[in-house]
Amino acid sequence: RDRYYTDAVSWAQASGIVNGYSTSVFGVSDSITREQFVTILYRYAEYKNCDITVNETANYVDSDSISDYARNAVDWLSEQEIMSGNTDGTFAPQANSTRAQTAAVFMRINEKLK
18-75 pLDDT, tens digit per residue, is: 998 887 888 888 999 999 999 999 999 999 999 999 999 999 999 999 999 999 999 9
Average pLDDT over residues 82-95: 95
Confidence (pLDDT) at 45: 94
Confidence of residue 1 (pLDDT cuts 50, 70, 90): low
The residues pairing with 96 across neighbouring beta strands, listed in sequence order, are: 33
Asked whether the predicted pLDDT for residue 77 surpasses 70, the reply is: yes
Query: Is the pTM above the cut of 0.85?
Result: yes
Confidence (pLDDT) at 102: 92
Q: Rounded to the nearest 5°, which phi and psi values hold at 3? A: -125, 170
How far from 35 is each of 2, 27, 50, 51, 86, CA to CA, in Å?
27, 15, 20, 20, 13
Average pLDDT over residues 87-104: 94
Torsion-angle region of residue 92: left (phi > 0), alpha (psi -120 to 50) or beta?
A: left
